[in-house]
Each structure stands twice: as structure tokens, then as C-alpha cells.
């Protein structure tokens, strides 16, 4: 949620900030703004709406230092006044902030009593006022920022500048923030794509780090301002990979990349996987913890672990994990799965696990993320940057890594790679232009429907859940997923003439699933079958050859394409669905 970028260097800051904000817009936002500093004054611009459809006059801005922000409203409505950056009353301090300040009302009342005037409804605005308050009492800018941050309760990623010098201060607690190291220029951002075209050298800030950025980057601990050592890492992501290229949207581009990303996900260190498998085998209780699409990947993996490794896995939504804390002990293993590694509910679940002494393994896509740093072991998805808000290639990458783990647990890691080889070869065909055009015909049939149901049994059940999520996330058509045998226990009352039902089928459950489909067909449903074999009961059929335990990877591909096509036909932005954010960093 929200996006931050800060710049200090040798170039004019405004264009770098503006272009950086565009690259962060995938995180979700409803307003945006930027601020530069030159000759002891700020130049500020704020707006509501789509930054990619707007131009700014760079001549309005001056200075080699500045900050920018894309806002996803939490405290206060969507308005220019509530957009960041926020300034102090004297317009001498400017701040951008992600997170939630839990004690902002108390701080605001205190500051008002001291004569401060507020212009917004946000929790963020207390920060520049607090900084100015300490500066008025004699503190220099850095000390004032530190003093203000120590007063904040809750989560934050903050970047602050002032008009009196060219120092930029960045700090985080519970929200992501990374520093980019260029050629005599420096960046601070909530995500690497904001500055990836300028540098691949980064410093990942830890919770309660304070980075002072002027002629270099100096990192200190917030509590005592003692220097801390943070390594400069090199990012392997390709700049071109983060651009749309010939595709109209990132979502379609990332769908078509999956043959490659599944293969990359399978390129794990075999010995490391075997060591982690030993941890799983020796654990007394294993929990998969995740949210959204990652949760569906974990649910699929629980079926695979049951069939391949003959092992029971507990699968829990991260937001509900606290309710399971009494089952945890120092021999429990918690496997947390997150694309960004910054999902607040997942981080809270990991904190709960560590309080009980449990070991934590994470599966993430973003190097240096909070989840990675809070885990005992980490496996990377290797999917590269995923810009679309919806998870497509990272979902199948998660499935690939989890499938490999299941095989590693029975010392058949190489068999797992063989299963994935079959999948990634098939995915190449499933994402071809001819397949996409065939699914577009189905989208033309479904584009005006109000409801779509998805069903499956066994491994196909989590796929049905993920399919429903994809459709409603991006097209805003109400979609609901069911275990195939459950629809008749109440929800079949919703089936009427031409109600679309998508049925995922495999040879292992074909007879039972087709029986359920016949019940729906008898009540007028329009049946779309997805599986290896056509059936006369289907009104529309999408052939997906059987791949055994890779079915969850291959069978979701047509639905990702269908969801994309529905969004385009319904004039929805596939890359930035309304009300959604790439990283949900608040609980």
C-alpha cells in the first residue's frame, strides 16, 4: 500500500520523482504528490487520480533533493489536502509516510495546544509538525526527526527533508523501505522498481534503522543512534523485465512469462532444499501461513504433501493465526508464504510463532524483505518483479517451490523437478496467442454476467478458490469458489438459467465432479469445463492436459487469461484494480 520515493543527487529531482511514482503506482493509490527543495523553499504538487495520465511542468520545480508519494487512503478521505507530502506550519519540513500512527490523535491534540495548525485529516501530518516542534526547541534536523519518530506508536516508513540543508532522513518500523546507491546520488523508496533504472545497488533498512543521506548514506539505530552495518546488495532484476514492452498491460505480460518463471522457481539449491525438508520431517507440527492467493497456493500444497510425502500440514490464514498460538512450541515449524514479504498479517503471524519459540521458514519473491529478515531460512521464488497488483506468476512460482519441498521430504527432489519440467513446457502452450484468443471468446460470453461460480475436488478445489479470486479481483464480477460437493449444501439455490459455472476436473475425480456438474446443468447452469477430456455436458471446454501434481499450476493459467480478458472487455484496469494494493502493509 502506498509508495514512497526520495532522491538526493546531482540531477533535478522532480523528473526522477515523478517517473519513480509512476513505477510505484502498481502498489495501489488514490492520490499522489511530490516536493522538491531549493534556495530555502519547497515546490509542492499534489493531485487526485491516475498519475500515468497526467503531466507536470518540471519548470515549476527546482532542486536536487525531493520526496514523492502515492497514497492509498486510510486516515482521511481522498483529497488533495490529505495527499502527501505533508509539511509543517512554516513549510520548512516535508514528510512522506507509509503505515499507521496509532497515537496520532494524542499527538495532534498536543501539537494543537502548542499552536500548530493542521490542514489535513491524516495521521501522517503530525510527523512534520513534531519535527518542527523539536527544531524550534534547538534540535538540528536529524535529531529532531529522531525525537519525532521515537514518539510514534504503530508502523511507519518515513522520508523527511527540510529547506535548511540537503539532508534526507529515512527510517522504518514495520513498513518497507530500501535505499538505492547510485553514482553520487541516492534514493529511498518503498520498493526497488522506483529507482531500478538508475541503480541496482541497494541497502535494505531494518526495523528501527535511520538512514542519514547527504554526501553518502549513514545508517544508525533509532533508539541510541549508534552506527549499524548494512551491506550493499546488488539486485539481479532486469530493468527490461519490469517494463511492459509489447504488451498492453503488465498482467498479460506476467501471465505469459510463467513458462520461464516456473523454471526459475525450480532452480533451487538441491542441498538447501534437502536440509529444509529435514526440518519439515523433524518438526512436531507444520503450519503453512499466508494471505490471499498465497493462501490458495498453500492449500494446494497441503494436498500435495498429503499425497506425496504422506504428511499432514496445517494451513491457516495469517490474519487468523493468533488463534492457533496455543498449538505452537519450540519444535513447530511455520512456513510463511508472501510475494512481497511485507504483508502485515503474515509478519504478525511470524511474530506470534517466534514468541512461542517456533522456527520460521519463508518463501518470498522480494530479496531483503521484512519476512526474509525475520525468518530462520528463506527460499526465493525467483519470479522477478511482479508489477500487476494481482498475483499471477508469483502464484505459480509459489506452487512450484512448495511442490519441490514435498518431493524433497521423501528424498525425491529430482522427481519434483521432473514434474515441474512437464508443467513449464505445457504453460508455454497455454499462454500462446491462439489460446488467449480462444479464451477471449469465452470472455465475450461472460462479460455481462453478474455471478460466476467455480468448483473442483481435491487438488482442483484450491484452484477453484484461486480462480474465483482472480475473476472478482480484476473484473468486479462476483465470483465464488466451492468444493464441488458443497454447492448442493445451500448455494445451489443461486443457480438459475445461464448461471456460469467453471468446473476443474482431473481423471482422479472426474466421475464425482461430472455428477455435481449434472446437478447444476439440470438447474440451467452454463458449464465451462477445464481439464484433459471434453464431456458432452460442457457448454464450453478448455483443454488442459493432465500434469498430476502440477495441475494447480497448469489449470489456473486459462483463468488468469479469462480474468484479464473480462477486465479489458468491462473497461477495468487489469494492473490496478480498484481498492486493492500490491502489498497490504496494514492489519
pLDDT at residue 416, as a whole number:
85
pLDDT at residue 114, as a whole number:
93
CA–CA dist 439, 564 (Å, integer): 10
In the block, residue with C-alpha cell 533533493? 65
Q: Do domains 243-430 and 432-587 have the same CATH topology?
A: yes
E-state strands within 374-472: 377-380, 451-456
Give me the helices (H) in 476-541, please. 510-521
Residue 232 DSSP class: P
pLDDT at residue 1, as a whole number:
59
Q: What is the pTM of this model?
A: 0.76
CA dihedral angle for residue 576, residue 385, residue 361, residue 227, rounded to 10 degrees = -100
Domain locations along the chain = 3-235, 243-430, 432-587
Separation in Å, CA 518 to CA 321, 349, 464: 38, 42, 18
Separation in Å, CA 217 to CA 4, 229, 343, 487: 18, 11, 27, 58
DSSP codes joined into one string, 199-229 = --EEEEPPTTEEEEESSSEEEEETTT--B--
CA–CA dist 335, 479 (Å, integer): 29
CA–CA dist 179, 207 (Å, integer): 14
Residues 181, 217: contact at Cβ < 8 Å? yes
Give the angle subtended at the CA of 244 by the CAs of 238 and 246, to the nearest 5°.
Answer: 115
Separation in Å, CA 1 to CA 188, 308, 333, 381: 16, 38, 29, 21
pLDDT at residue 586, as a whole number:
57
Q: How far is CA 364 from the centre of its chain?
A: 10
Q: Which of 553, 559, 523 is nearest to 540 (CA)?
A: 559
In the block, residue with C-alpha cell 480462444? 438
Q: For the chain, first and last CA: distance in Å?
A: 11
The series of mean pLDDT values per 10 residues for the chain, 587 residues long, is 88 92 74 91 86 76 92 74 90 92 93 92 93 95 96 93 95 90 94 89 92 95 93 74 74 91 89 92 96 97 96 96 95 95 92 96 88 91 87 95 95 86 84 90 96 96 98 97 90 91 95 92 95 95 94 96 97 88 60
pLDDT at residue 587, as a whole number:
54
pLDDT at residue 429, as a whole number:
86
Q: How many CB atoms lie within 10 A of CB 522?
A: 9
Separation in Å, CA 438 to CA 181, 247, 520, 541, 552: 47, 18, 24, 10, 21
pLDDT at residue 28, as a whole number:
59
Q: Which amino acids are annotated catalytic? A: 2, 582
What stretch of H or E contains 187? Answer: strand 186-189
Q: Which of 117, 119, 105 is nearest to 44 (CA)?
A: 119
Q: Classify domain 3-235 by CATH architecture.
A: 4-Layer Sandwich (3.60)
CA–CA dist 378, 363 (Å, integer): 6
What CATH number does the domain located at 243-430 have?
Answer: 3.40.50.10490
Q: What is the CATH superfamily name and number for domain 432-587?
A: Glucose-6-phosphate isomerase like protein; domain 1 (3.40.50.10490)
> Helix 141-150 and helix 126-136: axis angle, to 10°?
130
pLDDT at residue 66, as a whole number:
95
Amino acid at each position: 500500500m502506498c509508495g514512497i520515493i526520495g532522491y538526493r543527487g546531482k540531477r533535478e529531482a522532480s523528473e526522477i520523482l515523478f517517473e519513480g511514482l509512476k513505477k510505484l503506482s502498481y502498489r495501489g493509490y488514490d492520490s499522489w504528490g511530490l516536493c522538491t527543495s531549493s534556495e530555502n523553499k519547497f515546490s509542492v504538487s499534489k493531485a487526485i487520480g491516475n498519475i500515468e495520465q497526467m503531466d507536470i511542468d518540471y519548470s515549476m520545480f527546482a532542486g536536487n533533493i525531493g520526496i514523492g508519494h502515492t497514497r492509498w487512503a486510510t486516515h482521511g478521505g481522498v483529497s488533495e489536502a490529505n495527499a502527501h507530502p505533508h509539511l509543517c506550519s512554516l513549510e520548512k519540513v516535508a514528510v512522506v509516510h507509509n503505515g499507521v500512527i496509532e497515537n496520532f490523535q494524542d499527538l495532534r491534540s498536543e501539537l494543537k495546544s502548542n499552536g500548530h495548525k493542521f490542514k489535513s485529516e491524516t495521521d501522517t501530518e503530525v510527523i512534520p509538525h513534531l519535527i518542527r516542534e523539536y527544531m524550534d526547541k534547538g534540535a538540528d534536523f536529524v535529531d529532531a526527526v529522531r525525537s519525532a519518530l521515537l514518539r510514534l506508536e504503530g508502523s511507519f516508513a518515513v522520508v523527511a527533508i527540510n529547506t535548511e540543508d540537503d539532508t534526507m532522513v529515512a527510517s522504518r518500523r514495520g513498513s518497507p523501505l530500501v535505499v538505492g546507491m547510485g553514482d553520487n546520488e541516492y534514493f529511498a523508496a518503498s520498493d526497488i522498481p522506483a529507482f531500478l533504472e538508475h541503480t541496482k545497488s541497494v541497502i535494505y533498512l531494518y526495523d528501527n534503522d535511520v538512514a542519514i543521506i547527504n554526501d553518502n548514506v549513514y545508517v544508525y539505530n533509532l533508539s541510541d543512534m549508534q552506527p549499524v552495518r548494512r551491506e550493499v546488495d546488488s539486485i539481479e532484476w532486469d530493468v527490461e523485465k519490469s517494463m511492459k514492452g509489447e504488451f498492453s498491460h503488465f498482467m498479460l505480460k506476467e501471465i505469459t512469462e510463467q513458462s520461464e518463471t516456473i523454471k526459475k522457481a525450480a532452480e533451487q539449491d538441491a542441498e538447501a532444499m534437502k536440509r529444509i525438508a529435514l526440518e519439515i520431517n523433524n518438526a512436531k507440527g507444520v503450519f503453512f501461513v499466508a494471505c490471499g492467493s498465497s493462501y490458495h497456493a498453500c492449500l494446494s500444497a497441503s494436498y500435495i504433501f498429503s499425497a506425496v510425502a504422506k504428511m499432514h500440514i496445517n494451513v491457516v490464514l495469517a490474519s487468523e493465526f493468533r488463534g492457533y498460538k496455543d498449538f505452537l512450541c519450540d519444535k513447530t515449524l511455520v512456513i510463511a508464504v508472501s510475494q512481497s514479504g511485507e504483508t502485515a498479517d503474515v509478519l504478525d503471524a511470524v511474530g506470534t510463532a517466534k514468541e512461542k519459540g517456533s522456527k520460521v521458514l519463508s518463501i518470498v519473491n522480494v530479496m531483503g524483505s521484512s519476512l526474509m529478515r525475520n525468518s530462520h531460512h528463506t527460499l526465493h521464488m525467483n519470479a522477478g518483479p511482479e508489477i500487476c497488483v494481482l498475483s499471477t506468476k508469483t502464484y505459480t512460482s509459489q506452487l512450484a517451490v512448495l511442490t519441490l519441498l514435498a518431493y524433497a521430504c521423501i528424498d525425491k527432489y529430482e522427481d519434483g523437478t521432473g514434474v515441474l519440467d512437464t508443467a513449464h513446457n505445457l504453460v508455454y502452450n497455454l499462454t500462446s496467442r491462439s489460446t488467449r484468443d480462444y479464451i477471449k471468446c469465452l470472455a465475450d460470453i461472460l462479460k455481462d454476467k453478474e455471478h460466476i461460480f467455480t468448483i473442483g475436488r481435491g487438488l482442483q478445489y484450491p484452484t477453484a478458490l484461486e480462480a474465483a479470486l482472480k475473476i472478482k479481483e480484476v473484473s468486479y464480477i462476483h465470483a465464488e469458489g466451492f468444493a464441488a460437493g458443497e454447492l448442493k449444501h445451500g448455494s445451489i439455490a443461486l443457480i438459475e438459467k445461464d448461471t456460469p459455472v467453471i468446473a476443474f476436473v482431473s481423471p482422479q475425480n472426474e466421475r464425482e465432479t461430472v455428477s455435481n456438474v449434472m446437478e447444476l446443468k439440470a438447474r440451467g447452469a452454463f458449464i465451462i469445463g477445464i481439464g484433459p477430456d471434453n464431456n458432452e455436458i460442457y457448454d464450453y471446454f478448455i483443454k488442459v492436459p493432465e500434469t498430476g501434481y502440477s495441475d494447480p499450476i497448469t489449470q489456473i493459467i486459462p483463468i488468469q487469461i479469462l480474468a484479464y480478458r473480462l477486465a479489458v472487455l468491462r473497461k477495468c484496469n487489469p494492473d490496478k484494480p480498484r481498492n486493492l494494493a500490491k502489498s497490504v502493509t496494514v492489519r
